[in-house]
Amino acid sequence: MFLITHWLLLALYAKGESSTTYIVHMDKSLMPQVFERHHDWYKSIIHSINLATVNESSNSKKTKKLVYTYNHAMHGFSAVLSLYELETLKNTHGFVTAYPDRSATIDTTHTFEFLSLDSPNGLWHASNFGEDVIVGVIDSGVWPESESFKDDGMTKRIPSKWKGTCESGQDFNTSMCNFKLIGARYFNKGVIAAKPNVTISMNSPRDTQGHGSHTSSTVGGNYVNDVSFFGYAKGVARGIAPRARLAMYKVLWDEGHQASDVLAGMDLAIADGVDVISISMGFNNVPLYEDPVAIASFAAMEKGVLVSSSAGNEGPKLGTLHNGIPWALTVAAGTVDRAFESLVLGNGQTIIGWALFPAENAILENYPLIYNKTISACNSVELLTQVAGQGIVICDALESVSVLNQTRFITLASVIGAVFISDDPVLIELGHLHSPSIVISPKDGPYVIKYAKNAKNNNPFASIKFQQTFVGIKPAPAAAFYTSRGPSPSYPGVLKPDIMAPGTNVLAAFIPKVPSATIGTNVFLWSNYNLLSGTSMACPHASGVAALLKATHQDWSVAAIRSALITTANPLDNTQNPIRDNGKPFQHASPLAIGAGQIDPNRATDPGLIYDATPQDYVNLLCALGYTQNQILTITRSRSYNCANPSFDLNYPSFIAFYGNKTRSVMQKFERTVTNVGNGAATYRAKVSNPKGFVVTVLPETLEFGFKHEKKSYTLVIKYKRLRKKEEDVSFGDIVWVEDGGAHTVRSPIVVAPNFV
């Protein structure tokens, strides 16, 4: 009965059933010898399926074209198939697995100083500013005319390992590449397959969104003088690795973002010879064996190519992170020590605030300062219009009215100017004001209101100073409210994110075809440089630092570079207190928000000890997860790996443990091995900060190294008891290996969390 039903369904599928793009994994080792190339084998398979389909149903299309064939990021192809054709394909010799194509989620003039890269003895100089390291950016394309992509000062010899090309296309020719932008490719067959009637608006590597130009210039943009965002953040723009080479792989389109295109871009980036891949996007709620970024980054890791990825913008809720890939770098976003604009009261008091009103040369000087309880809610256009031309209106901080709505009402009423009292991170981190206004802190609000109510002669006045930039603001950094938090849904047993980097209001190259600011409700402005926020902006900062490390330590593995970034990250802000979480006001940020802390490039170049890992170590983890042989094969592409030693205990430079709702006491044990990358013999001693309510023990407590590259192992045990039935807190601490003499400190965060997250 089952067989009859099964074949009846297949017959129904064959009759007029719609088709879908599938990503198909094949076992290349089983390719028949008659084929010289993998592409020919896959093409033959599709041809055979076509014939079978034609024989089965006259309604089937007689031709099916491959979308892509893959050979570096994975082994297999993508193709448009009906369910009947998919079932036929599953019986093909060498078939491993298949799943539907899916959509991706898209997630500087001062940040280099904030990261202390301008130090004369730092990583910039040690790496010669990343000279000749090649960074492949997987994104929305590039605007080649941007000053950030000029090759002034670049050496005129492209590294011999480079195998890529510069593809011509609509409004883009090969002469637009140079010794800075050495490659540009584009991939949209997946979008076209998903939407057969689509018209691609810009069929070339040219950027139509600004996202790709922004991220790539953040990674490795050249030096550009006198850059600003309408007068804000003015200075010399440069990428984190300003002498690195850039290659753009356009996979994000106005018409869609398909996994098959992302895979194709990463596939060729690996083949082209890049050293680092920067990808500011991800795929939500997919297992590692169906995640294009995870699959491609495993192949990259095998070849020594580090993949730096964004954590996502779904915070502050826990468990929202994507790209929680054990063999990739996952980057969270933090704020920067920078503010814009000031409010100057008539008594001479200056209050630093925030706003980005984009009208250059705007002046709002010595206007009456109005505080009127009738209108201070700032939630009525009718009431605000009555005082619109009289002066600068103060808006109360109210729970019943969001500051975002207040800014909207002020704009609609065409008020001369306004003072908003708020610390709402949504506005401060992501919003731009469309009227001549300023946002001040609630701690300054009462003083301003008091001045407005009590000034002598009842004639208070104030000025708002625009196009001002203040740096050194404290405290900073803080975890951005929007940055996605761990644990990783794809595998929570490895602590993610790894590190935090600047992601809020980052200035970098943009495109002059998309508005970057608005005045009022209908005046749109364009700029060649834009202030954007997101983990998309944080990721290329880490990618750039990875490129600098690659230039400095060419023999380091991907795991070694990631380890150096994690163990040297700074958990403290510029007040030397623990980094705070803007998503949870007044709380310290846990490693589930910031990883080990703010990236510290100069310390990362000399970490003292590293936690290394081999591809087989990651496979041991996949085996322990209970993945089937085919699921593992989709990631590894090879049967040369084995499951002889499955283990959840990956040699990772951080620790995370979980407890269950019914568990009264638990003990979790971790084994770690560290490699001495210092100059010679060294002794390290363990210093532990226990997570609240838990006890951590380390054996041995002292590691003695006799020579460089020597390895030593230790055991870390977490013991804890649930003190309250309803306890749901995340607790965190750390272990720091301190070298005698203080030359190096090697820090790893420790997290204990309830398993409900």
- Catalytic sites, residue numbers: 139, 211, 536
Cis peptide bond N-terminal to 316, omega within 30:
yes
Whole-angstrom CA distances from 49 to 92, 94, 196, 492 are 9, 14, 20, 40
List phi, psi (to 5°) of 260.
-60, -35
| Distance of alpha carbon 396 from alpha carbon 32, whole angstroms | 74
Give the whole-angstrom CA distance, residue 409 versus residue 382.
9
DSSP string, 322-379: ----TTSEEEEEE--SEEEEEEEETTS-EEE-B-----TT--EEEEEEE--TTTTT--
Element holding 266 (H helix, E strand):
helix 259-272
- Nearest CA among 295, 257, 250 for reference residue 101: 257
Listed in sequence order, the residues at least 6 apart from 39 whose beta carbon sits closer than 8 Å to its beta carbon are 69, 71
Q: Name the nearest CA neighbour of 7 among 73, 87, 62, 82.
A: 87
Phi and psi (nearest 5°) for 241?
Answer: -120, 80
**Hunting for tokens 């009947």 — which residue is that?**
84
Helix (H) or strand (E) holding 565: helix 558-567
Neighbours of 128 (CB within 10 A): 14
Cβ–Cβ under 8 Å, residues 333 and 424: no
Rounded to an integer, what distance in angstroms lies between the CA atom of residue 219 and that of residue 148? 11
Q: How many CB atoms lie within 10 A of CB 307?
A: 31
Instruction: Answer yes or no: are the C-beta atoms of 586 and 580 closer than 8 Å.
Output: yes
